[in-house]
């Protein structure tokens, strides 16, 4: 069954979504089959692509829209949200 989840996430990490954070997000997104997008303004990034994620220029305090479509959408959205909540497990 295809599920569709949309929610807003806030970047809490002090340095924003920089290369290492983007890599953590992309690796996590690759664990799922669903299509996972993070959107800021007119830029929509495929969460599997580090290059795409860096185009967002997502700074601390920025609000990103998470859109997940697919069979494991609920699990994928939960995993991505958990990374944001945990500050991407960085200092």
Are 43 and 55 in contact, with CB atoms under 8 Å apart?
yes
Among 50, 76, 80, 83, contact with other proteins (rule: CB under 8 A): 50
Is 26 among the residues that bind other proteins (CB under 8 A)? yes
Among 4, 14, 31, 74, contact with other proteins (rule: CB under 8 A): 14
Best CA proximity match to 72, nearest among 22, 12, 31, 16: 31
Among 4, 7, 10, 57, contact with other proteins (rule: CB under 8 A): 57
Is 35 among the residues that bind other proteins (CB under 8 A)? no
Q: CA 87 to CA 14: how far, in whole Å?
A: 9
Q: CA 65 to CA 84: how far, in whole Å?
A: 12
Is 51 among the residues that bind other proteins (CB under 8 A)? yes
Shortest distance in whole angstroms from residue 4 CB to other proteins: 25
């Amino acid at each position: 069954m295809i599920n569709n989840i949309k929610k807003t996430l806030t970047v809490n990490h002090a340095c924003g979504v920089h290369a290492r954070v983007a890599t953590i997000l992309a690796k996590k997104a690759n664990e799922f089959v669903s299509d996972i997008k993070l959107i800021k303004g007119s830029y929509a990034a495929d969460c599997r692509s580090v290059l795409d994620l860096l185009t967002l220029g997502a700074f601390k305090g920025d609000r990103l829209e998470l859109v997940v479509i697919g069979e494991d959408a609920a699990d994928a959205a939960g995993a991505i949200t958990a990374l944001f909540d945990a500050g991407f497990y960085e200092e």
